[in-house]
Amino acid sequence: MEKLQISDLFSLEHYHRIRPDFRSKVMAHKRDRKVSLGEYATLYFEDTLTMQYQVQEMLRVERIFEEEGILEELETYNPLIPDGSNLKATFMLEYADVEQRRRELARLVGVENKVWARVAGFDKVFGIANEDLERSTGEKTSSVHFMRFEFTDDMIGALRQGAGLSFGVEHEHCTESVDPVPETTRKSLLADFN
């Protein structure tokens, strides 16, 4: 998958005009790229379009229009675009209640290392979390983690032939899975392998 360049982005003025339609397009795209692992844990799979939206929103909110600032945003978000042999996701632990969030993040230390993907007929592939910086401590995990799932050529070939794709987490305080994901999700994620 191609990384974003400045030429892929809209100017602030143009983005302002097209934002409602572009946002609708991205939200529809994201629906097929979300995997809920129970009530509170969710994988949001990223790609070029989701990262373009993220960058455009950051440029808009921060009113960034100079090349240096735009390049900094691209440098931050381009690593979340899949490289052709992997899937990349934002893993979120979402608790609306502040006290519940505090308690659960303390109970879920290390959960980011227990999230897996599996192509039917193959072993689980555990996500590689937070390569950019450590987000957890010995006392609590973060509510947001970035992860990469690496697949072999055989696994990708099996997916292209229609093999099921599953995701899960196996932490002592959080054991959930989706086996397999819906076909619309499998097809959307299959496009990340090129």
Whether residues 121 and 181 fall in one domain: yes
Q: Which two tokens stand for residue 15?
A: 């983005």
- Specify the pLDDT at position 118: 98
* 79-129 tens-digit pLDDT: 999 999 999 999 999 999 999 999 999 999 999 999 999 999 999 999 999
Among 36, 51, 27, 67, which residue's Cα sits nearest to residue 181? Answer: 36
pLDDT of residue 33 exceeding 90: yes
- Specify the pLDDT at position 1: 77
Number of structural domains, the chain?
A: 2
Q: What is the mean pLDDT of residues 53-65?
A: 95
d(CA 83, CA 150): 10
Q: Which domain holds residue 117?
A: 36-47+82-194
Whether residues 172 and 185 fall in one domain: yes
Q: What is the mean pLDDT of residues 47-67?
A: 95
Whether residues 108 and 179 fall in one domain: yes
pLDDT of residue 133 exceeding 70: no
> With contact defined as beta carbons under 8 Å apart, do 145 and 91 qualify?
yes
> With contact defined as beta carbons under 8 Å apart, do 89 and 149 qualify?
yes
Domain end position, chosen among 57, 81, 105: 81
Whether residues 20 and 87 fall in one domain: no
Whether residues 25 and 92 fall in one domain: no
Q: What is the mean pLDDT of residues 167-194?
A: 96
> With contact defined as beta carbons under 8 Å apart, do 53 and 26 qualify?
yes
